Amino acid sequence: MTMIFGYPLPALLSQLLIGLINGSFYAMLSLGLAVIFGMLRVINFAHGAQYMLGAFFAWFLLRYFEVGYWPSLILAPLGVALISVVLEKVFLSRVYKLDHLYGLLLTFGLALIIEGMFRHWYGTSGQPYSIPSVFTGALNLGFMILPIYRGWVIVASLVICLATWLLIEKTQFGAYLRAATENPTLVQSFGVNVPRLLTLTYALGAGLAALAGVLAAPIYQVSPLMGQNIIIVVFAVVVIGGMGSILGAVVTGYMLGLVEGLTKVFYPEASSTVIFVIMVVVLLLRPAGLFGKE
């Protein structure tokens, strides 16, 4: 058997695969957070709850309306985006002119309320969501076994990140977003409805979280705590990548997923803390993050 640094290649590759899958979720979630922070200057602590809502939305659709996975990939993000439009209009829009701390506390409170409600209704044990039949089974790549659904998640996350990047960098909507991040008043004086742009941006970020939630549903169980478990890591990813940096969020998300996977091979005890160690080092050496502007 091929060995690398004393470890069997299949074991190493399977951990890398797990790292890449985790990294896919980190990238999608930190991307949404970065989009929201870049435009609204709100540290959206409700992002984990929106991820959970996406998964639950898909689960509801399947259980009560027999609507399957594929329509859910569109309907769940749309549903969560609509809920987020209401949240933005009713709550968030009131704190834009205040210190960032108010947005953080507000969204933290919203996350606690949303997660609390779902915990009350569904308990803490997860609800199963089956893998779509087209993605059942695994591929034997020769050097490792790749579950097809996990391969799909990696491909889907890459497509989602690329599409979001194209939306922001190559479209007129993206140009409005980038310009409004710099000088919203001037952009509004040109006739662009900036308050609506803020609402759409929040809905877009929340929709991305919900889409990640639908993709996660067949891998992890649909649980009220699923967002809470991942959101702290995702915040660390965003800090390491650079708050508000789209590229930073995506690259750092995948990179840290892989680092976490490799740590599980070489020093498993540190696998749950390695991201935070990296965050501390980055904050000390480059406080704006790896891709942030100093």
Partner 1 sequence: MTEPLLEVKGLQAWYGESHVLHGVDLTVHKGETVTLLGRNGAGKTTTLKSIIGVIRKRQGQISLKGTNILPLPLHHVAKRGLGYVPEERGIFASLDVHENLMLPPKVAEGGFSLDEIYTLFPNLAERRRSQGTKLSGGEQQMLAIARILRTGADVLLLDEPTEGLAPVIVQRIGDVIRALKEKGMTILLVEQNFRFARRVADRFYVMEDGHMIDSFRADELAGRMDSLHETLGL
- Binding residues for partner 1, rule: CB under 8 A, are 172, 175-176, 178-179, 181-183, 185-194
Nearer to partner 1 by C-beta: 46 or 197?
197
Distance from C-alpha of 181 to C-alpha of 167, rounded to nearest angstrom: 15
Inter-residue contact 229 to 272 (CB < 8 Å):
no
Structure tokens at 286: 């480059």
Q: In a 3-state reduction of DSSP, which class is residue 127?
A: strand
Measured from the CB atom, is 18 or 179 closer to partner 1?
179
- Least distance to partner 1, CB of residue 267, Å: 40
Q: What is the secondary structure of 191-227 as a DSSP string?
A: T--HHHHHHHHHHHHHHHHHHHHHHHTTTS-B-TTHH
What is the distance of C-alpha 246 from the center of its chain?
Answer: 12
CB of 153 to partner 1, least distance (A): 31
Q: How far is the CB of 38 from partner 1 (least distance, A)?
A: 10
**Is 86 in a helix, a strand, or coil?**
helix
CB of 221 to partner 1, least distance (A): 41
Our CB check for partner 1 shows the closer of 2 and 185 to be 185
- When the beta carbons of 166 and 186 are compared against partner 1, the nearer one is 186
For the chain, the maximum distance between any two Cα atoms, rounded to a whole number of angstroms, is: 66
Q: Which is nearer to partner 1, 128 or 191 (CB)?
A: 191
CB 35 → partner 1: shortest distance, Å? 14
